[in-house]
Structures are given as structure tokens and as C-alpha cells.
Structure 1
Amino acid sequence: MTKDETKQAVLEIIADIAPDEDISNLKSDVRLRDQMQLDSMDFLDIVMELRKRHNIEVPEADYPQLASLDSCADYLTPKFTALGK
């Protein structure tokens, strides 16, 4: 999976979790929580959906790695690749 595909997978999860948010103009290098109305429960939902949909575990210590779309792609792409996606 490419970094762009990883970003798209994260965006799909965000769209399902926060359907009222406009994700079309998100900047990939800016923290998601600075651009959207995501609270800590929404963030946990994203982590849970990554596990449910893609079988990717994100340890709590690694949560800061998911701050922006770029950092999500950097962190998650190798995990998708390891799963053969």
C-alpha cells in the first residue's frame, strides 16, 4: 500500500466516525485535531477502526504518530505492507 492509499484509508475511517466533518480540504501536514472537531473518543475510534478494518494494532505509546495525515502515512504504511496490503 502506498502512502497515498494509507491516507485514503485513514480518511475513510474519519469520514465514518465524524460524518459531519468536511475532510475534503484537510492539510496532510497539519495535526488532524487542529483542523477538525475530533475529541479523544473520536481518536480512539480511529485506532479501533484501524484494528477492526485492517488488523493493525497501534500501541498507546504510538498514538502521537497519528497526529497528521502525513505522520499516519509514515507510521501505518509499513504496517499495511507487512500485512501484504
Structure 2
Amino acid sequence: MNEAEIREALWQELGNIAPEMDLRQLDPSANLREALDIDSMDFLNFVTAIHRRLGVDIPELDYPKLGTLDGAVNYLKVKLRR
């Protein structure tokens, strides 16, 4: 899976959580919880959706690495190479 495909998957899953947001305008370095005004349960739902969709195990200690769009893309690129 390439970077564009990962980013598209993230946008789609974030769109399920924050459908009112224009995710294409999201600053990729912005904190997702703040930029999308989502709470910790929404963020957990996002992480769970990514796990299910991409089949990537994401330990709780790694959740902060998914805090921005760029961070999530970089994290998942590494995990999907294995």
C-alpha cells in the first residue's frame, strides 16, 4: 500500500467520524483531535477502524503517533512494510 492509498483510507475513516469536516483542507500536521473537535472515544473509534481496515495492530502506546495525518501516514507506512 502506497502513501496515497494510506492517506485516502485515513480520510475515509476520519470522514466517518467527522462527516461535517472538509478533510482535504485539513493541515496534515495539525492535531486531529483538536482540528476535528473529536473526543477520545471518537479517536479510539478511528484507531479501531484503521486496525480493521488495514489489518495493522496498533498498540495503545503508539496512539500518539496517529495524532496527526502526517504522523498516521508515516506510522502506517512502516507498519505495512512488515
TM-score, normalisation: structure 2: 0.87
Q: Is 1:72 equivalent to 2:67 in the alignment? A: no
Identity of aligned residues (%): 35
Q: Is 1:38 equivalent to 2:35 in the alignment? A: no
> Which of the pair is proportionally richer in helix?
2
Structure 2 unpaired stretches of 5+: none
Do the aligned residues in 1 keep the contact of 2:18 with 2:36 (CA within 8 Å)?
no
Q: Deviations over 1:29-51 (max 9, x none)?
A: 11112211111011000111112
**Amino acid paired to 1:33:** R
**Amino acid paired to 2:45:** D
1:7 alignment partner in structure 2: 7
Task: Return the alpha-carbon distance in structure 2 between the equivalents of residues 81 and 9 of structure 1.
Answer: 16
Shift of residue 3, structure 1, vs aligned partner: 2.1
1:29 alignment partner in structure 2: 29
Structure 1 unpaired stretches of 5+: none
Question: RMSD across aligned C-alpha pairs, in angstroms?
Answer: 1.3
Shift of residue 4, structure 1, vs aligned partner: 2.6
1:55 alignment partner in structure 2: 55
Task: Return the alpha-carbon distance in structure 1 between the equivalents of residues 80 and 62 of structure 2.
Answer: 16
Count residues in correspondence.
82
TM-score, normalisation: structure 1: 0.84
Shift of residue 80, structure 1, vs aligned partner: 2.3
1:16 alignment partner in structure 2: 16
Task: Return the alpha-carbon distance in structure 1 between the equivalents of residues 47 and 39 of structure 2.
Answer: 13
Do the aligned residues in 2 keep the contact of 1:50 with 1:57 (CA within 8 Å)?
no
